[in-house]
Chain A
Amino acid sequence: MSNQREQADAFLAQMDQFANMMKQSIGVPVLLDQKTGVALWWDQREIKLRFVISVEKIRKFFEALSEGKLLATKCKKSGKILFPPQVDCPDDPEDEVEWVELPKEGELVTWTVIYVKPYSFGHYNDYTVGIAKLTNGVQILAWVRETDPSKLKVGQKVKIEIVKREPEGYLTYEIVPVQE
């Protein structure tokens, strides 16, 4: 069976095909809706949406992934740990941050298995997203390496692993259930 992205692409290709037929017969890409028969213009403009996002101030976080480390920032005065890392302390403009390594053990706070996926995730198999609370109290949201709902429990022990996300082939982090 094809994945959800292939199904979505096949749908768009079919719309294109219908529109091309209509262009040939009546000169314009106007389709008739298959359910209601109303006239629909098939957009002839298409864009690719892809952003460039600054990570300059938090580049240490990404550099550390290749060393197998998960970093956060810590406000020096208040001791508050910030994850996702940010370089400004929200509670005190005078406070400064330093980088600290996060522990890799914790427990599962909540989770869900995603069956119906966004277009840009349509090429993956079903995946589980969860939130883990690490031993220092910091929470982290990531994929969970288990997609059978009956095998997951709120409060169960988990660890964090740095993993390579395929097929894109980049480093990210994952929540991994620990057998108790």
Chain B
Amino acid sequence: MGRRVAIVGTGHSKFGVRNDVNIAELAYEAISKAISSAGIEKKEIDLVVTGYVGGWSSEGLAPVVVMEYAGLTGKPGYRIEAACATGSAAIKAAHDAIASGEADIALVVGVEKMNESPTPTVVEFIGRAGNYFWEFENFGLTFPGYYALYATAYMSKYGATEEDLCRVAVKNHYYASMNPKAQFPRAITLEQCMKSRYIAWPLKLFDCSPITDGAAAVVLASEEVAQKLTDSPVWIESIGVSVGTSNLSKRDQFTSLNAATLAAKMAYKKAGIDPENPAKYLDVAEVHDCFTIAEILAYEDLGFAKRGEGYKLIRDEQTYIGGLIPVNLSGGLKAKGHPLAATGVSMAVELTNQLLGKVEKGRQADIKNGRALAHNIGGTGHYAYVTIYSLSKPRA
């Protein structure tokens, strides 16, 4: 269990095609804001954990490049990688270091510069994020392709339609239109989504998250330090983590992500949340909508909807503000953008601001329970992280 850990500072770059900055400059946009909002000096930081997937960008040792640029050399630091869940994995690593007593203040950075490579190369690298030898080498799966395998099975089993998938995109673009940090801060119509070209049947362009450059950072602190620094810490109440199979062929079904279901169960248990009715305990959630189908699977894997009924939640607009549980008020990966390693940290930044009532008008959730959930998936359920953030101090 260990010591309690809280978020005491946050920073977030604008997401998008950020070829106006290099990777260190981009990371520093988030780092400088995180440090200043925490009200700490760089010398007080005990540990720097950098999430970075890379491959598509030139700097192999980006964490070191970033730490040098930011004046953080000399400190302990390392890189974390868990595919698209890298950001949440980096937060967990820093959390564990503080919980164990190894550090009092840790800086977590997630950064990705995906637009340094042309699109077909990025498609190639992400397509390799499964089992390279048995599922990519001969069959050239792409990331939309992996999730499309789930979409086909889900639609066939439960009767969800392509319109239902597009409804997720419409919601997330709607909220992104109020988020100045989003890559696509504009609303779209259902018709626009339905008319967009197929990328991997049945997923269309507007079902897919974009290729994004971006950075996000949080400062984590132990209970003792957090209470000195701020009167509004946001606590990390619990983290659930699970790893799935690398080969999709080894999974027993394609209508839910087993790893996400297991991670949610773990996180709920630690936080004392009833897994039968988690929405009652939460005010808002950021879920991993790398593709629209992924958000619908998330509703079910997290227990917001029964199996086979996730698509009805979006059909009935239950994941808008005022519904059962608002989901992806940031615009989600879908419209805010998905710079892989930054995504999990971006979720932490967003949910911290949501809980503190500090996001833009129109996309601020009503905060009653003081609890928020981040669901961050690496690969296609290869890694799953579910993190609960809370305004009240967690049980020891």
Contact = CB atoms under 8 A, between A and B. Distances in A.
Contact of B118 (A11, A111, A142): A11
A112 B138 CA distance: 15
A151 B120 CA distance: 28
Interface stretch (B31-39, B148-156, B228-236, B311-319): B148-156
Contact of A129 (B124, B128, B149): B149
Interface in A84-132: 84, 109-122, 124, 127, 129-131
A43 to B, nearest CB: 7
Contacts of A141: 134-135, 139, 141, 247-249
B293 to A, nearest CB: 11
A6 B73 CA distance: 44
Contact of A43 (B58, B142, B247): B58
B200 interface: yes
Given A111-B152, A141-B139, A118 B249 contact: no
Contacts, number: 119
Interface in B141-165: 141-142, 144-145, 148-153, 156-157
A107 to B, nearest CB: 12
A169 B350 CA distance: 51
A20 interface: no
B141 A12 contact: no
Interface in B3-26: 17, 19-20
A8 interface: yes
Interface string A131-161: 1000000011111000001000111000000
A38 interface: yes
Nearest to B150: A110
Contacts of B188: none
Given A5-B120, A109-B254, A131-B248, A114 B142 contact: yes
A131 B149 contact: yes
B144 A131 contact: no
A140 B89 CA distance: 31
Contacts of B142: 114, 116-118
Interface string B200-238: 111100000000000000000000000000000000000
B116 to A, nearest CB: 8
Contacts of B75: none
B133 A115 contact: no
Contact of A154 (B20, B123, B133, B153): B153
Contact of A143 (B19, B139, B150): B139
Contact of A40 (B19, B148, B198): B19
Contacts of A83: 249
A58 B148 CA distance: 30
B149 to A, nearest CB: 5
Contact of B133 (A53, A116, A118, A119): A53
Interface string B337-350: 00000000000000
Contact of B139 (A33, A122, A142): A142
B356 to A, nearest CB: 34
Contacts of B254: 109-110, 131
B158 to A, nearest CB: 11
A13 B45 CA distance: 46
Contacts of B152: 110-112, 154
Nearest to B199: A116
Given A36-B19, A124-B140, A112 B148 contact: yes
B297 to A, nearest CB: 13
A66 to B, nearest CB: 16
B250 interface: yes
B90 to A, nearest CB: 26
Nearest to B135: A141
Contacts of B248: 131, 141
A142 B138 contact: yes
B308 to A, nearest CB: 15
Nearest to A35: B17
Given A110-B149, A111-B152, A129-B149, A139 B250 contact: yes
A84 B250 CA distance: 9
Nearest to B197: A115
A121 to B, nearest CB: 4
Contacts of B127: 118
Contact of A115 (B136, B153, B157, B199): B199
10 contacts: A110-B150, A114-B142, A118-B124, A122-B120, A131-B248, A140-B249, A142-B139, A143-B138, A154-B153, A154-B156
Interface of B: 17, 19-20, 58, 118-121, 123-124, 127-128, 131, 133-136, 138-142, 144-145, 148-153, 156-157, 197-203, 247-251, 254
Given A110-B152, A155-B156, 19 more contacts: A5-B120, A8-B121, A36-B19, A36-B20, A84-B247, A84-B249, A110-B150, A110-B153, A114-B140, A114-B142, A114-B145, A115-B197, A117-B123, A118-B124, A120-B140, A122-B120, A131-B248, A131-B249, A149-B201
